[in-house]
Structure 1
Amino acid sequence: MGVIQYIVDLGPTVMLPLIIFIIGILLRQGLGKSLRSGLTVGIGFVGINLVISLMTENLGDAAKSMADNYNLGLNVIDLGWPGTAPMAWASSMGLIAIPIAIGVNILMLITKMTKVVNVDIWNIWHIAFTGAMIQVATGNYVYGIIGIIIHAAIIYKLGDIFTPVTDGYFGLDGIAMPHGTSAYMGVIAKPIDDLIEKIPGLNKITLTPERIEEKLGVFGQPTVVGAILGFIIGLLAKYSIGQSATLAVQMAGVMVLMPMVVKLIMEGLIPISEAARSMLDKRFSGSDFRIGLDCALMLGDPAVVATSMLFVPWTILIAVILPGNNILPFGDLATIGFFVAIAVGVHKGNIFRTLFSGTAIMIMTLWIANQMSSVQQALGQQVGLIKSGEQISSMDQAGSPITYLLTKGFTLEMGVGFFVIVILYGFCLAYTYVKYKQEKLYVEIEES
C-alpha cells in the first residue's frame, strides 16, 4: 500500500506516464517506444495542467468577483475537483478503491460486460470519493466498499455507452471516457437532443464553431470567440478595460493551446492503444476493446471550450435563481468543460442544443451538491482538510447522481427528492443506453 500511496501522491502527470510505460513494455512495444509514449503523454498532461491553471487562476478569479460584486448571498463554497480529489485519496477508501476498481474492470472484461480497459488510475478518485461519502454517512466500511464496486461497474458501462460519441464526434477511435462528470452527466443530453429534434424550428438551429465562423468570418474563429467571451466575463466581474482585455487574450490562448496539448497526448496514446487492441483482439477475436482514459482529451474540441466559457456566467446565474441553493460555484467553474464535454459530442458540436442539456446538468448538479454538502464537510473534517464550521461542497462528484443515490440509499434517507432523481436520472441512463445500442447495431448491419 505504501508503494501505491507514493505513486498516487506523484499526481496524474507522473502516474499516467508510468502506467503507459509499463503497459507499453507488457505489450512488447520495446523500451524506447514505451518510454517515448509515456513521456509524450506526460508532457501533454503537463500542458493540460498549465492551460487549466490558466483558466482556474484567471477565469476562476473573475467568476468569484462576479459573485462578490452582485452580493449573491451564497454561503457554501464549491471546492471543485482540485479540493475534492485529495479528500478521496486521504480517506479510508482512497487506496483500497484502486485494487477494487481494477478487479471490477477485470471481472467485467472476462464476463464480457464491458469493453473498456481502464488505465486512468488517477481518476479512480471519483469512485473512492463515493465510497468515502457512504462510509462517513453510514459509519459502515463494508457499505463503502459495495459503493465503490457499484460505482466502478456503472462508469465502465458508461464508457461503452458513449463510444458512438467518442468515436463519431471526437474521433477518439479505440478510446473510451468512463470517468468523471462528463460520463455520468452525459446521459442527460441524449433525451434532450432527441426531444429538440422533434420540435419544429428549434431542430433547425445549428450553432457550431464552424457555422459561427462561416457566418461571422474572422469574428467567428475560435480564437476570437474565446477573446470576446473572456472580455465579456471581465466586464461582468467589473474589471477595468485593461484587465478585461488581459482576460480576453488569456482565454483566446486557452482556445488555441488546449487542442495542441490534447493532440500531444493522443500522439503518445495512439501507438499504445493500437497495440493493446491488436493483442486483445488476437486473444479475444472481435471484442473491440477500448482504452479508458481521462475525459480531458475531449477538452481540446473548440465547441467544448466555447461552451465551457459560456457556462461560467450562466452557471452562476443558475445558482442565483435555483430555489434553495446555497452553493457559490467557484472551484469547478474554470473546468466546467468536464461537465458538458460528452453533451457537446451528443449534440455533434451544436452549442445551441448544449445550452439546454448543460442547463439541466448544472441544475441537477447544484441541487445534489446542496444535499451532500454536510456529508462532504464531515469527510473533509475527518481527513483533516477542512476546519470545523467551514461550509463547503463540490459540484464535481458531490454533485454526482451516482454518489448521491448510493449514499442516500445506504442511509435510507429516501425523501421526495431522492425518488425524483431516481426517476429522472434512471430514465436518462436507460434511454441513452437503449438509443446508442440501437445506433451501434444499425452501424454494424450497414457495415456487414
Structure 2
Amino acid sequence: MDLAQATAWIQEFLNSVGAAVFVPIIMIVMGLIVRMKIKDAISAGILLGVAFSGMSMLINYMSGLVQPVGEAMLERLGIDLPIMDGGWTTMAAIAWSWPFAILVFPLLIGINVIMLVANKTETFNADLWNVWGKIFTAIGVVGITGSVPLAFLIAAIQIVFELKTADLFKDEINELTGIPGVTCTHKMIFLSAIFYPIDKLLRKIPALNTKADAAALKEKVGIFAENHVLGFIIGVLFGLLGGYDVPATLTLGVQAAMCLTLFPVISKYFMEALSPISEAVSDYMHKKFADRELVVGLDWPFMGGSNEIWLTVIYAIPITVLFSFILPGNGILPFAGIVNIAVAVPAYLVTRGNLPRMLILATIGVPIFLYVGTVFAPFVSDLAHSTGAVDLAEGALISCSSIDGPVQTYSFATFLDFMNGNFLPLGVLVIWLAGYFYTYHDLKKEAAARKEAAAAQLEE
C-alpha cells in the first residue's frame, strides 16, 4: 500500500466513522495505557461517543433549521454572491486529497511526545480527528512554494502552537466547564490572539466589565433567560426575519427552544465520560512525570454546554448574512458554514463567558471569516477541480465562511507568498504573532499570580 492508497483508506475510514467513533477509540486505548480497568475504559469511551453523537445530532439539527432561514434572508435582500459556502467538510475533503496527508499523524504524535518528555507542554493531544487542519496548512505551503519538506515544517510549527495554546487556556477551560484534566487543542482557539487584546480594551468599559454570563442574565430577566424560553424567542425572531408564515415561525421557535434546552444536557455526558479518563491519565502521568499536572487535549464539543457559546453562534447568523451583503470585496455566500462555532469558542474563552463582550467580538470577527473565505476561494476551488475531492462544476468557486482560526490559517498557509511579491499574508502573520505573544504573556502572568495567591492561602 503506497502513501496515496493509505491516505485514501484513512480518509474513507474517518469519513465513515466520524469523531463519535474515532475519538472514543483513542480515549479507550489511552485509558488502557494508563491502567484503567477494561470495563471502565470501555464504558467511558462509549459514553464519550454518545456525547459526541448527541452534540453532532443537535448541531446538524440546528444547522438544518437556520440554514434555510439564512438563505431566505439573503433572497429577501436580493444578494448574489459567486462563491459557494461548502462548510468545514469541503476543507477537510480537500486536505485529505493530499498524497502525504497520512504522514501528518506521526508528525503530530511525535512532536507531542517530544514536548511532553522535554517538559515543554502539559497537554497530551487526543484530538487526532482534526489532524486535517494541519494538513490544510501544509497544502497551502506546497501550493505556494512547491516544497513538501517546508510544508511539514510549517505544519510542525502549527502543532507546537496548538499545544502551547491548549496549555495556556487549560485553567480557564477547567473553570468554565467544571471538567477536570481537559483542554482544547482545536485550532479555532487561535482566534484568541486577535480577540484577547480587543477584549482587554472592552474590559476598561465599566458596563462591559461586570458579571454577564447566561446565569447572571437569568437573575436579571428571569424567565426570559431560561433556555427554552430564550430559544423560543430567538426561533420566532429568525422566522420573522426569514419571512416565514405564523405556523412555520412558531414551529421554528419550538425547535430552537429544544436545541438550547438539550445542549447543556448533552454536555453533562462529556463530563461524565471524560472525568474518569482524565483522572486516570493525571494519576498515571503524575507517576511518570513527577510534580507535573498533565491534561488531555480534545475537540471543542465538551464545552458545548455553555449557553453563551450557542447564544453567540445564533447571534452571528444574521450578522454574517448582513456583513456578506455590505462588506466591500466579500464574494462568499454564507450557507453550509453559517453556524459558526469557530467565532464563539475563542470569544467564550477570552471573555470567560461574558456574553455582551462575546457578541461584540463576534461582530468584529465575522468579517474576518468572510474575507478569509473569499481570499481562499480560488485556491480551494483549484484544489477541488484538480483532485476531484469535491464535485464542483467547471468555473464554479467554493470556500468556507467559517474557516477555523481564520487569521492563523490564512497567514501560516500563505505567508511565504512574499517571495512572489505578495506581502499581505506576511503582514497578517506579524499581527497574529504580536497578538498571540501578548495574550500568552498576559495569561501566563495571571496564572502565576493565581498560584502565588493559592500558595499564600496555604501558608496562612
1:43-442 residue pairs with structure 2 within 5 A?
Answer: 43-181=50-188, 183-203=189-209, 207-334=212-339, 336-384=340-388, 385-387=390-392, 388-397=394-403, 400-412=406-418, 413=420, 415=422, 417-442=424-449
Shift of 1:345: 3.0
Question: CA 1:71 to 1:265, structure 2 compared with 1: closer, same or farther past 3 Å?
Answer: same
CA contact (8 A) 2:408 2:432 kept: no
- Cα gap change, 1:27 to 1:6, in 2 (>3 Å): farther
Deviation at 1:297, TM superposition (A): 1.4
Name the SS of the counterpart of 1:300 in structure 2. Answer: coil
Give the C-alpha shift of residue 369 in structure 1.
2.0
Once the two structures are superposed, residues 148-180 of structure 1 have per-residue CA deviations (whole angstroms, 9 ceiling, x without a partner) of 212111111111111232122232321110113
**Which consecutive residues of structure 2, in runs of 5 or more, have no partner in the other structure?**
1-5, 456-460
Distance 1:32 1:326, change over 3 A: same
1:235–1:93: structure 2 CA closer, same or farther, 3 Å change rule?
farther
Deviation at 1:398, TM superposition (A): 7.2
Looking at structure 2, the residues matched to 352 and 93 of structure 1 have their Cα atoms a distance apart, in angstroms, of 44
- Equivalent position SS for 2:177: coil
Contact 1:78–1:327 (CA<8 Å) still a contact in 2? yes
SS in 1 for 2:292: coil
TM-score (norm 1): 0.94
How far residue 7 of structure 1 moved from its aligned partner, in angstroms, is 4.2
Letter in 1 for 2:69: A
Structure 1 residues 223 and 271, CA gap change in structure 2 (3 angstroms): same
Indicate if the aligned counterparts of 1:17 and 1:39 stay in contact, CA closer than 8 A.
yes
Distance in 2 (CA, whole Å) between partners of 1:201 and 1:34 is 47
Q: Deviations over 1:25-71 (max 9, x none)?
A: 11121221111011111111111111011111111221122112211
Contact 2:45 2:273 in 1 (8 A): yes
Question: Is 1:77–1:328's contact at 8 Å kept on the other side of the alignment?
Answer: yes
What's the offset of the Cα at 1:83? 2.6
One-letter amino acid matched to 1:346: V
Q: CA deviation at 1:138?
A: 3.2
- For the 8 Å contact 2:179–2:275, the answer to whether it is kept is no
In structure 1, how many angstroms separate the alpha carbons of the residues matched to 2:207 and 2:270?
Answer: 40
**Using the alignment, how far apart are the partners of 1:368 and 1:78 within structure 2?**
12
Q: Tell me, which stretches of 5 or more residues in structure 1 are unaligned?
A: none
Letter in 2 for 1:173: P
State the partner residue of 2:48. Answer: 41
CA-to-aligned-CA distance 1:309-337 (integer Å, 9 cap, x gap): 11110122122222211112222222x23
Give the 3 Å change call, closer, same or farther, for CA 290–126 of structure 1 in structure 2. same
- Contact 1:366/1:399, CA 8 A, preserved across alignment: no
Whole-Å separation in 1 of the counterparts to 2:386 and 2:106:
23
Structure 2: how far apart are the matches of 1:410 and 1:416?
9
Q: Is the 8 A contact 1:231 1:247 kept in 2?
A: yes
Deviation at 1:423, TM superposition (A): 4.0
Q: Distance in 1 between matches of 2:41 and 2:426?
A: 49
Instruction: Select between 387-396 and 19-28 the one with higher mean Cα deviation.
Output: 387-396
Shifted more, 367-376 versus 117-126: the winner is 367-376
Summarize the Cα distance change of 1:115–1:414 in structure 2 as closer, same or farther, 3 Å threshold.
Answer: farther
Aligned-residue sequence identity (percent) comes to 28
For 1:209 and 1:46, locate their aligned partners in 2 and report how far apart those are by CA, in whole Å: 25
| Cα shift at 1:4 | 4.5
Q: Distance in 1 between matches of 2:154 and 2:247?
A: 50
Asked whether the 8 Å contact 1:364–1:399 carries over to 2, the reply is: no
Report the 3-state secondary structure (helix = DSSP H, G, I; strand = E; otherwise coil) of the residue aligned with 1:195. helix
* Secondary structure of 1:238's aligned partner: coil
Preserved CA contact (<8 Å) 2:229 2:257: yes
Q: RMSD between aligned alpha carbons?
A: 2.0
Aligned partners of 1:382 and 1:389: how far apart in 2? 12
Q: What secondary structure is seen at the aligned counterpart in 1 of 2:96?
A: helix
The 8 Å contact of residues 372 and 406 in structure 2, kept in 1 or not, is answered as: yes
User: Relative to 1, partners in 2 of residues 1:203 and 1:46: Cα closer, same or farther, differing over 3 Å?
Assistant: closer
C-alpha deviation, 1:414, in angstroms: 5.8
